[in-house]
A = this chain, B = another copy of it.
């Protein structure tokens, strides 16, 4: 039986049989839950026999480990791409929120499986994945801190809580996003960004009351 080789992001994005197995398995895990799907079914979904599938993955946990690893890497890559694309904090915030929803929507099976099933992974693999997640959160916090320094975001806003707010409002798209819906991910991202930056309160109201109550 071969070693469990987790699928890297570049290999996933390049396409081929291993990425196809990942996508098919994620779709099945999402529909029926990780435990209800057998390796044989995961193989059948891409036309592979049992030995054919085992040639690529030694067990179901290795598939799950790759799925969770890929979603973590997708989010990190999206954020790094935004930071590389522009140094303007306002542009960065816009591209980040748009792109984050777009990534979750585009890989909805992978993210649903990751966020619903990751607890199944043993503590060994989990701690490595948690390190990636912490690196991502650090990078989001630094994006926010840069925006504070540039005068885009008020200095008294709690960086960590704003990170959690953005993370939650955009991440939950894994659950409610529908391709047939009226709005594209970029439009939803822009709407969320407008809400969070400009606020939803009617400016006709006395400002201080909003913060003081």
Contacts and interface: CB of A to CB of B under 8 A. Distances in A.
A153 interface: yes
A73 interface: no
- Report the copy number of this chain in the oligomer: 2
Given A116-B119, A197-B200, A192 B165 contact: yes
Interface stretch (A8-16, A79-87, A166-174): A166-174
Interface of A is mostly: helix
Given A116-B116, A154-B200, A188 B161 contact: yes
Contacts of A213: 90-91, 94
A164 interface: yes
Contacts of A167: 172
Contacts of A90: 209-210, 213
Interface residues of A, number: 55
A199 interface: yes
21 contacts: A31-B119, A32-B119, A33-B117, A94-B213, A116-B119, A151-B202, A151-B205, A154-B201, A161-B191, A161-B192, A164-B169, A164-B176, A168-B169, A168-B170, A194-B211, A195-B196, A198-B199, A198-B210, A199-B199, A199-B200, A199-B201
